[in-house]
Amino acid sequence: MKRGTQKLSHYRKRGEVNMVDVSQKQVTARTAVATGFVKMSPQVVRAVKRLHNPKGNPLEVARIAGIAAVKRTAEWIPLCHPLPLTYIDVTARLCKNGIELQSRVTATAQTGVEMEALVGVTAAALTVYDMCKAIDKSMEISDIRLLQKTGGKSGDYFARVSKKMTRTRAGQLHSPARS
C-alpha cells in the first residue's frame, strides 16, 4: 500500500474498534527494538552511580520491570494480541545526565512485537522514575521510540538515527553526548 493511502487497521467501517484478525497471516520471526531516556539531575546520577538509593539499584529493578511488562503487553494495550515471546532483553545504562533504556523483543508469530518493545522500555523508564523520585521529582522521561522492527508482511523498519548516535560493543544504540 502506498504511503498516505494506508488506513487504521483497528477500526470497522462505522468506526467501532476491532481487534485485527491475524489468523490468515504467516507465522514469521519478528524482532523489535525500542529506546527511551530518563533525564536526571547530577545529584540523582551520583546517587544511582553510588547505589545510594533508598529503594535499591534502579538500573536492575527497571530492567526486571521492563521484562515483566513486555510479557503483559496485551493487558496494557487493549487491542494487542498475546504473543508467544521467545526473547526479551531490557538494558539500562547510566550516562552523565540520566539513564538510557533499550528493549529488544523477539517472537515467532503472526503479528509483530513493536508494542511489546515499547511497553518494556516505558515500564523501565517509569520504574527508574519511581525508584529515584525521593531524591528529585523533576526527572524527565523522553525519547521513547521504535528503533527497528523486522519480519512480517510490512517488511523491516529502521528509524533514522542521529549522526550523534553510536553503537556499543553489544550493539545497543546510544548518544555519546549522554555518556
Residues with a known catalytic role: 130
| Calpha distance 119→112 (Å, rounded) | 13
Distance of CA 80 to the CA centre of its chain: 15
pLDDT digits (tens, 9 = 90+) for 46-94: 999 998 777 889 999 999 999 999 999 999 999 999 999 999 999 999 9
Q: Which residue has the cell 521484562?
A: 67
What tens digit of pLDDT does each residue of 59-71 get? 999 999 999 999 9
Q: How far is CA 113 from the centre of its chain?
A: 10
pLDDT > 80? residue 12 = no
- Identify the CATH class of 28-151: alpha beta
What are the structural domain ranges in the chain? 28-151
pTM score: 0.84
Place of cell 542521529: 162
Phi, psi of 158 (to 5 degrees): -130, 120
User: Looking at this protein, which amino acid is placed at residue 133?
Assistant: K
Q: pLDDT tens across 100-158, in order?
A: 999 999 999 999 999 999 999 999 999 999 999 999 999 999 999 999 999 988 899 99
- Is the torsion defined by CA of 49, 50, 54, 56 positive or negative? positive
Residues with Cβ within 8 Å of 71's Cβ and at least 6 positions away in sequence, in order, are 85, 88
